[in-house]
Amino acid sequence: MAAFVPDAGESVNALIADPPPGAPVPPILPPQDGYLFLDRKKFAESFAADVPPRQAAFMADSQVPWGIGALQGAVTKPAWRDLPSWYLLTTEDRMIPPEAQRAMAGRAASSVTEVAASHSVYVSQPDAVAALIKEAATRHI
């Protein structure tokens, strides 16, 4: 769901190291005590552009910090190498460029569904998220 799909030995840092020209730059603030936050003032535009403004503001104010280690940790054995995978590609994403999503989903041979949504697709379009989960669950039986 609008996520990184690292291969063996890759970290999120490796995947974001060489963004395509013109790609949006996520408004990640400098680390505070080993944790990262998105700039609250730029949160809605970058993370939740298709979420109602009051809800996006609440999301910005209640964001959970994530550790720097989340960017640096390398995957050892990606599940997509051995299992079928599905990917919900968000074409209006300003956190992970759609081109990067396409490339990662493609190399994982994922079944891809595209939706015109922000990175917060699970909030803005929960039916699309549920439909993809249902498809994956049904096909994997």
- CATH number where 116 lies: 3.40.50.1820
Residue 60 lies in a domain: yes
Domain count for the chain: 1
Residue 126 lies in a domain: yes
Residue 3 lies in a domain: no
Q: What is the pLDDT of residue 22?
A: 85
Per-residue pLDDT reduced to its tens digit, 55-105: 999 999 999 999 999 899 999 999 999 999 999 999 999 999 999 999 999
Q: What is the pLDDT of residue 141?
A: 57
Residue 1 lies in a domain: no
Residue 85 lies in a domain: yes
Q: What is the pLDDT of residue 20?
A: 77
Query: In which band, very low, low, confident or very high, does the pLDDT at 19 lie, cut at 50, 70 and 90?
Result: confident
Domain extent at residue 37? 12-139
Q: Which of 112, 108, 71, 110 is nearest to 88 (CA)?
A: 112
Radius of gyration of the chain (CA): 15
pTM of the predicted protein model = 0.91
Residue 5 lies in a domain: no
> Once rounded to an integer, what is the mean pLDDT over residues 98-122?
96
Residue 4 lies in a domain: no
User: Nearest 5 degrees, angle CA 133-CA 118-CA 131?
Assistant: 20
Residue 74 lies in a domain: yes
Residue 140 confidence (pLDDT) above 70: no
> Once rounded to an integer, what is the mean pLDDT over residues 24-33?
92
Q: Which of 18-32, 46-60, 109-123 has the lowest mean pLDDT?
A: 18-32
Count the residues in the chain: 141
Host H or E run for residue 114? strand 111-115
Residue 9 confidence (pLDDT) above 60: yes
Q: What is the mean pLDDT of the chain?
A: 94
Asked if 10 and 80 touch (Cβ cutoff 8 Å), the reply is no
* Residues in CB range of 2: below 8 A, 6 or more apart: 88, 89, 90, 93, 95, 96, 101, 117, 119, 121
Residue 37 confidence (pLDDT) above 70: yes
Could you tell me how far CA 34 lies from the centroid of its own chain?
Answer: 21
> Once rounded to an integer, what is the mean pLDDT over residues 32-45?
96
